[in-house]
Amino acid sequence: MSAKKIVIFGVTGVQGSSVARALLTDTHTKFKVWGVTRNPASRSSQELDKLGVQLVKGDLEDAQSYADALKDADGVFLNVNFWAAYKGNNAEEARDTEIAQSKAAVDACKAAGVKLIVHSALESYAPTLPIPHFDAKAEVTKYIKEQGVPATFLYTSYYFTNLNSAKLEEKGDETVLQLPLPDDTQIPGFNPNQIGWFARVAFANPEEWTGKDMYACGENVRVSKIARVLSELSGRKYRTMGVSKDDFLALEGKMDKELWLNYRAFVDGHMKRDPAKSLKIVPETQDFMAWASTDKAAIEKFGLSTEYSKNQA
Protein backbone atom coordinates (compact mmCIF):
# COMPACT_ATOMS: atom_id res chain seq x y z
CA MET A 1 0.00 0.00 0.00
CA SER A 2 1.35 3.45 -0.87
CA ALA A 3 2.00 5.90 1.93
CA LYS A 4 -0.89 8.13 3.00
CA LYS A 5 -0.31 11.83 2.45
CA ILE A 6 -1.41 13.98 5.39
CA VAL A 7 -1.25 17.80 5.34
CA ILE A 8 -1.03 19.54 8.72
CA PHE A 9 -2.11 23.14 9.28
CA GLY A 10 -0.35 24.73 12.24
CA VAL A 11 2.45 22.15 11.92
CA THR A 12 4.92 24.22 13.95
CA GLY A 13 2.47 24.55 16.84
CA VAL A 14 1.87 22.39 19.91
CA GLN A 15 -0.88 20.32 18.32
CA GLY A 16 0.39 20.23 14.74
CA SER A 17 3.93 19.21 15.67
CA SER A 18 2.55 16.43 17.88
CA VAL A 19 0.53 15.15 14.91
CA ALA A 20 3.61 15.30 12.65
CA ARG A 21 5.75 13.36 15.13
CA ALA A 22 3.07 10.74 15.75
CA LEU A 23 2.55 10.13 12.04
CA LEU A 24 6.26 9.96 11.26
CA THR A 25 6.87 7.38 13.97
CA ASP A 26 3.94 5.17 13.03
CA THR A 27 5.07 1.61 12.49
CA HIS A 28 1.90 0.19 10.91
CA THR A 29 0.55 2.75 8.44
CA LYS A 30 3.08 4.63 6.34
CA PHE A 31 2.49 8.38 6.20
CA LYS A 32 3.98 11.17 4.09
CA VAL A 33 3.68 14.28 6.21
CA TRP A 34 3.30 17.76 4.76
CA GLY A 35 3.09 20.84 6.95
CA VAL A 36 1.87 24.36 6.21
CA THR A 37 3.81 27.19 7.83
CA ARG A 38 4.23 30.87 7.12
CA ASN A 39 7.93 30.52 7.70
CA PRO A 40 9.73 27.36 6.53
CA ALA A 41 13.02 28.86 7.71
CA SER A 42 12.01 29.18 11.38
CA ARG A 43 13.74 26.99 13.95
CA SER A 44 10.63 24.91 14.62
CA SER A 45 10.07 24.43 10.87
CA GLN A 46 13.65 23.33 10.40
CA GLU A 47 13.38 20.78 13.24
CA LEU A 48 10.35 19.29 11.49
CA ASP A 49 12.16 19.33 8.16
CA LYS A 50 14.91 17.21 9.73
CA LEU A 51 12.29 14.72 10.94
CA GLY A 52 10.99 14.36 7.38
CA VAL A 53 8.11 16.84 7.17
CA GLN A 54 7.63 18.31 3.69
CA LEU A 55 7.24 22.01 4.48
CA VAL A 56 4.88 24.19 2.46
CA LYS A 57 5.05 27.97 2.71
CA GLY A 58 1.44 28.97 3.18
CA ASP A 59 -0.81 31.35 5.06
CA LEU A 60 -4.34 30.59 6.24
CA GLU A 61 -5.22 34.12 5.10
CA ASP A 62 -4.49 33.10 1.50
CA ALA A 63 -6.08 29.82 0.36
CA GLN A 64 -4.15 29.91 -2.92
CA SER A 65 -0.89 29.65 -0.98
CA TYR A 66 -1.65 26.09 0.18
CA ALA A 67 -4.15 24.84 -2.45
CA ASP A 68 -1.54 22.85 -4.41
CA ALA A 69 -0.36 21.05 -1.28
CA LEU A 70 -3.84 19.62 -0.76
CA LYS A 71 -3.82 17.78 -4.10
CA ASP A 72 -3.84 13.99 -3.57
CA ALA A 73 -4.04 14.43 0.21
CA ASP A 74 -5.55 11.49 2.06
CA GLY A 75 -5.98 13.57 5.17
CA VAL A 76 -5.71 17.05 6.67
CA PHE A 77 -5.21 18.02 10.30
CA LEU A 78 -6.99 21.33 10.81
CA ASN A 79 -6.26 23.41 13.88
CA VAL A 80 -6.64 27.15 13.48
CA ASN A 81 -5.21 29.22 16.29
CA PHE A 82 -7.70 31.69 17.79
CA TRP A 83 -4.98 33.34 19.83
CA ALA A 84 -3.00 34.42 16.73
CA ALA A 85 -5.66 37.07 16.02
CA TYR A 86 -6.55 37.83 19.66
CA LYS A 87 -5.20 41.04 21.14
CA GLY A 88 -6.88 40.85 24.54
CA ASN A 89 -10.01 42.88 23.75
CA ASN A 90 -11.16 41.68 20.33
CA ALA A 91 -12.52 38.19 21.03
CA GLU A 92 -15.40 38.43 18.54
CA GLU A 93 -13.03 39.59 15.79
CA ALA A 94 -10.57 36.76 16.58
CA ARG A 95 -13.46 34.27 16.58
CA ASP A 96 -14.56 35.51 13.14
CA THR A 97 -10.98 35.33 11.83
CA GLU A 98 -10.64 31.73 13.02
CA ILE A 99 -13.98 30.86 11.41
CA ALA A 100 -13.11 32.55 8.08
CA GLN A 101 -9.64 30.95 7.90
CA SER A 102 -11.04 27.54 8.81
CA LYS A 103 -13.92 27.72 6.32
CA ALA A 104 -11.52 28.69 3.53
CA ALA A 105 -9.35 25.68 4.42
CA VAL A 106 -12.41 23.39 4.48
CA ASP A 107 -13.49 24.71 1.05
CA ALA A 108 -9.99 24.05 -0.30
CA CYS A 109 -10.05 20.51 1.14
CA LYS A 110 -13.43 19.89 -0.47
CA ALA A 111 -12.22 21.19 -3.85
CA ALA A 112 -9.13 18.97 -3.65
CA GLY A 113 -11.15 15.90 -2.68
CA VAL A 114 -9.37 15.38 0.65
CA LYS A 115 -10.55 12.08 2.08
CA LEU A 116 -10.56 12.99 5.79
CA ILE A 117 -10.20 16.16 7.84
CA VAL A 118 -9.31 15.68 11.49
CA HIS A 119 -10.60 18.87 13.05
CA SER A 120 -9.23 19.98 16.39
CA ALA A 121 -12.59 20.76 17.95
CA LEU A 122 -14.17 22.41 20.96
CA GLU A 123 -17.88 22.53 21.77
CA SER A 124 -20.05 25.60 22.26
CA TYR A 125 -21.92 26.29 25.51
CA ALA A 126 -23.82 29.21 23.97
CA PRO A 127 -26.28 30.69 24.72
CA THR A 128 -25.69 29.71 28.38
CA LEU A 129 -22.02 30.59 28.24
CA PRO A 130 -20.74 31.94 24.91
CA ILE A 131 -16.94 31.64 24.73
CA PRO A 132 -15.59 33.05 21.45
CA HIS A 133 -12.60 30.69 21.23
CA PHE A 134 -14.86 27.67 21.81
CA ASP A 135 -17.67 28.97 19.60
CA ALA A 136 -15.27 29.44 16.67
CA LYS A 137 -14.31 25.78 16.65
CA ALA A 138 -17.94 24.67 17.12
CA GLU A 139 -19.00 26.81 14.15
CA VAL A 140 -16.31 25.20 11.99
CA THR A 141 -17.48 21.71 13.00
CA LYS A 142 -20.99 22.71 11.91
CA TYR A 143 -19.65 24.02 8.59
CA ILE A 144 -17.65 20.86 7.86
CA LYS A 145 -20.82 18.80 8.44
CA GLU A 146 -22.90 21.12 6.23
CA GLN A 147 -20.32 20.87 3.46
CA GLY A 148 -20.35 17.07 3.67
CA VAL A 149 -16.57 16.85 3.90
CA PRO A 150 -15.53 13.55 5.54
CA ALA A 151 -14.19 14.38 8.98
CA THR A 152 -13.35 13.24 12.48
CA PHE A 153 -13.97 15.76 15.25
CA LEU A 154 -11.20 15.54 17.79
CA TYR A 155 -12.40 17.32 20.92
CA THR A 156 -9.51 18.55 23.03
CA SER A 157 -9.41 19.63 26.66
CA TYR A 158 -7.23 21.88 28.84
CA TYR A 159 -3.52 21.55 28.14
CA PHE A 160 -1.73 20.34 31.30
CA THR A 161 1.24 22.27 29.87
CA ASN A 162 -0.61 25.56 30.55
CA LEU A 163 0.39 25.06 34.18
CA ASN A 164 4.03 25.52 33.23
CA SER A 165 3.23 29.22 32.79
CA ALA A 166 1.27 29.59 36.06
CA LYS A 167 2.70 32.07 38.54
CA LEU A 168 3.96 30.69 41.84
CA GLU A 169 3.93 32.67 45.06
CA GLU A 170 6.16 31.71 47.97
CA LYS A 171 4.38 32.07 51.34
CA GLY A 172 6.51 30.90 54.25
CA ASP A 173 7.35 27.28 53.58
CA GLU A 174 4.49 26.92 51.07
CA THR A 175 4.25 27.62 47.35
CA VAL A 176 0.88 28.89 46.18
CA LEU A 177 -0.14 27.93 42.65
CA GLN A 178 -1.77 31.00 41.10
CA LEU A 179 -4.77 29.26 39.58
CA PRO A 180 -7.80 31.27 40.76
CA LEU A 181 -10.31 28.44 40.87
CA PRO A 182 -12.17 26.82 43.77
CA ASP A 183 -10.41 23.68 45.05
CA ASP A 184 -13.15 21.30 43.97
CA THR A 185 -13.23 22.55 40.35
CA GLN A 186 -12.64 19.68 37.96
CA ILE A 187 -10.46 20.52 34.98
CA PRO A 188 -10.73 18.09 32.07
CA GLY A 189 -7.13 18.09 30.88
CA PHE A 190 -4.57 16.24 28.79
CA ASN A 191 -1.01 16.30 27.57
CA PRO A 192 -1.32 18.19 24.26
CA ASN A 193 1.88 16.55 23.04
CA GLN A 194 -0.19 13.37 22.82
CA ILE A 195 -2.85 14.79 20.50
CA GLY A 196 -1.01 13.35 17.53
CA TRP A 197 -1.63 9.85 18.79
CA PHE A 198 -5.38 10.46 18.61
CA ALA A 199 -5.21 12.02 15.15
CA ARG A 200 -3.05 9.11 13.99
CA VAL A 201 -5.75 6.61 15.00
CA ALA A 202 -8.27 8.48 12.84
CA PHE A 203 -5.95 8.84 9.84
CA ALA A 204 -4.94 5.18 10.02
CA ASN A 205 -8.55 3.96 10.36
CA PRO A 206 -10.80 6.33 8.39
CA GLU A 207 -13.36 3.61 7.81
CA GLU A 208 -13.91 3.51 11.58
CA TRP A 209 -13.56 7.21 12.39
CA THR A 210 -15.14 9.18 9.55
CA GLY A 211 -18.11 11.15 10.86
CA LYS A 212 -17.24 10.35 14.49
CA ASP A 213 -16.29 12.39 17.55
CA MET A 214 -13.12 11.60 19.46
CA TYR A 215 -12.22 13.08 22.84
CA ALA A 216 -8.71 13.65 24.17
CA CYS A 217 -8.68 13.81 27.96
CA GLY A 218 -6.27 12.28 30.46
CA GLU A 219 -8.07 13.22 33.66
CA ASN A 220 -10.82 15.38 35.12
CA VAL A 221 -8.39 16.68 37.67
CA ARG A 222 -9.51 18.74 40.65
CA VAL A 223 -7.58 21.91 41.47
CA SER A 224 -6.88 20.50 44.95
CA LYS A 225 -5.41 17.36 43.36
CA ILE A 226 -3.07 19.39 41.15
CA ALA A 227 -1.50 20.93 44.26
CA ARG A 228 -1.42 17.55 46.03
CA VAL A 229 0.31 15.78 43.13
CA LEU A 230 2.86 18.59 42.75
CA SER A 231 3.59 18.29 46.49
CA GLU A 232 3.91 14.50 46.33
CA LEU A 233 6.25 14.62 43.37
CA SER A 234 8.44 17.41 44.70
CA GLY A 235 8.53 17.03 48.45
CA ARG A 236 7.69 20.74 48.55
CA LYS A 237 4.41 22.13 49.95
CA TYR A 238 2.27 23.31 47.04
CA ARG A 239 -1.12 24.70 47.84
CA THR A 240 -4.07 26.20 45.98
CA MET A 241 -5.21 29.83 46.30
CA GLY A 242 -8.24 28.54 48.24
CA VAL A 243 -10.69 30.81 46.44
CA SER A 244 -14.46 30.43 46.79
CA LYS A 245 -16.84 30.40 43.83
CA ASP A 246 -17.82 33.98 44.69
CA ASP A 247 -14.13 35.01 44.72
CA PHE A 248 -13.78 33.48 41.26
CA LEU A 249 -16.93 35.17 39.92
CA ALA A 250 -15.67 38.52 41.24
CA LEU A 251 -12.64 38.20 38.93
CA GLU A 252 -14.82 38.86 35.88
CA GLY A 253 -13.41 41.95 34.19
CA LYS A 254 -10.22 41.79 36.29
CA MET A 255 -8.45 39.11 34.27
CA ASP A 256 -8.35 38.17 30.60
CA LYS A 257 -11.97 37.64 29.58
CA GLU A 258 -11.40 34.58 27.35
CA LEU A 259 -9.42 32.86 30.09
CA TRP A 260 -12.05 33.75 32.68
CA LEU A 261 -14.81 32.35 30.45
CA ASN A 262 -12.76 29.19 29.90
CA TYR A 263 -12.34 28.82 33.69
CA ARG A 264 -16.04 29.49 34.17
CA ALA A 265 -16.82 26.55 31.90
CA PHE A 266 -14.84 24.38 34.33
CA VAL A 267 -16.35 25.93 37.46
CA ASP A 268 -19.88 25.40 36.11
CA GLY A 269 -19.04 21.88 34.93
CA HIS A 270 -19.86 22.50 31.26
CA MET A 271 -16.92 20.58 29.81
CA LYS A 272 -17.71 16.87 29.93
CA ARG A 273 -14.93 14.43 29.16
CA ASP A 274 -14.57 10.72 29.86
CA PRO A 275 -10.89 9.76 30.24
CA ALA A 276 -11.82 6.05 30.04
CA LYS A 277 -12.98 6.61 26.44
CA SER A 278 -9.72 8.40 25.58
CA LEU A 279 -7.74 5.52 27.09
CA LYS A 280 -9.56 3.10 24.82
CA ILE A 281 -8.38 5.06 21.76
CA VAL A 282 -4.87 5.82 23.02
CA PRO A 283 -3.92 3.50 25.90
CA GLU A 284 -0.85 5.66 26.66
CA THR A 285 -3.02 8.74 27.44
CA GLN A 286 -1.44 10.36 30.48
CA ASP A 287 -3.32 11.44 33.58
CA PHE A 288 -2.09 14.49 35.48
CA MET A 289 0.50 12.65 37.57
CA ALA A 290 1.94 10.77 34.59
CA TRP A 291 2.21 14.04 32.65
CA ALA A 292 3.77 15.96 35.56
CA SER A 293 6.41 13.33 36.18
CA THR A 294 7.48 13.16 32.53
CA ASP A 295 7.14 16.72 31.22
CA LYS A 296 10.60 18.31 31.16
CA ALA A 297 9.33 21.87 31.68
CA ALA A 298 7.06 20.82 34.57
CA ILE A 299 9.84 18.85 36.24
CA GLU A 300 12.07 21.90 36.10
CA LYS A 301 9.46 24.48 37.08
CA PHE A 302 7.95 22.61 40.02
CA GLY A 303 11.09 20.72 41.11
CA LEU A 304 9.44 17.35 40.49
CA SER A 305 10.88 13.89 40.83
CA THR A 306 10.85 11.53 37.88
CA GLU A 307 10.82 8.46 40.16
CA TYR A 308 7.08 7.98 39.65
CA SER A 309 7.43 7.57 35.88
CA LYS A 310 10.37 5.19 36.36
CA ASN A 311 8.19 3.05 38.63
CA GLN A 312 5.48 3.02 35.97
CA ALA A 313 7.86 1.86 33.24
- Closest C-alpha among 102, 88, 85 to residue 136: 102
Site string for ligand NAP, 205-244 (x = CB under 6 A): ----------------------------------------
Strands (E) located in the chain: 4-9, 31-37, 54-57, 75-78, 116-121, 151-155, 158-159, 168-171, 174-177, 186-190, 213-215, 219-222, 237-239
How far apart are CB 68 and ligand NAP at their closest, in Å?
15
How many C-beta atoms surround the C-beta of residue 41 within 10 A?
10
How far apart are CB 119 and ligand NAP at their closest, in Å?
11
Judged by CB under 6 A, which of 4, 6, 7, 10 binds ligand NAP?
A: 10
Quick check: 102 binds ligand NAP (CB under 6 A)?
Answer: no
User: Distance between CA 313 and CA 145 in Å, rounded?
Assistant: 42
Judged by CB under 6 A, which of 4, 12, 264, 293 binds ligand NAP?
A: 12
263: DSSP letter: H
Q: Is 232 helix (H, G, I), strand (E, B) or coil?
A: helix
> With CB under 6 A as the contact rule, which of the stretches 68-76, 139-147, 156-164, 299-307 interacts with ligand NAP?
156-164
Which is closer to ligand NAP, CB of 83 or CB of 244?
83
Q: Are the beta carbons of 235 and 229 closer than 8 angstroms?
A: no
Residue at shortest CB range from ligand NAP: 13
User: Distance between CA 81 and CA 266 in Å, rounded?
Assistant: 21
Judged by CB under 6 A, which of 86, 125, 158, 248 binds ligand NAP?
A: 158
Which is closer to ligand NAP, CB of 84 or CB of 237?
84
Site string for ligand NAP, 177-206 (x = CB under 6 A): ------------------------------
Angle formed at CA 220 by CA 301 and CA 177, multiple of 5 degrees: 30
Size of the site for ligand NAP (CB under 6 A): 26
How many C-beta atoms surround the C-beta of residue 298 within 10 A?
20
Quick check: 63 binds ligand NAP (CB under 6 A)?
Answer: no
> With CB under 6 A as the contact rule, which of the stretches 12-20, 179-187, 204-212, 236-244 interacts with ligand NAP?
12-20
Q: At what angle do helices 132-147 and 257-267 cross, to 10 degrees?
A: 80
Site string for ligand NAP, 126-145 (x = CB under 6 A): -------x------------
Judged by CB under 6 A, which of 41, 83, 113, 259 binds ligand NAP?
A: 83
Counted residue by residue, the chain has a size of 313
236: DSSP letter: S
Which is closer to ligand NAP, CB of 47 or CB of 61?
61
Judged by CB under 6 A, which of 102, 124, 156, 194 binds ligand NAP?
A: 156
How far apart are CB 16 and ligand NAP at their closest, in Å?
5
- Closest C-alpha among 45, 46, 52, 54 to residue 26: 52
- Closest C-alpha among 13, 54, 74, 18 to residue 203: 74
Quick check: 60 binds ligand NAP (CB under 6 A)?
Answer: yes
How far apart are CB 313 and ligand NAP at their closest, in Å?
27
Alpha-carbon distances of 4 from 17, 29, 32, 45, 171, rounded to whole Å? 18, 8, 6, 21, 54
- Contact set with ligand NAP (CB under 6 A): 10-16, 36-39, 42, 59-61, 79, 81-84, 122, 133, 156, 158-159, 162
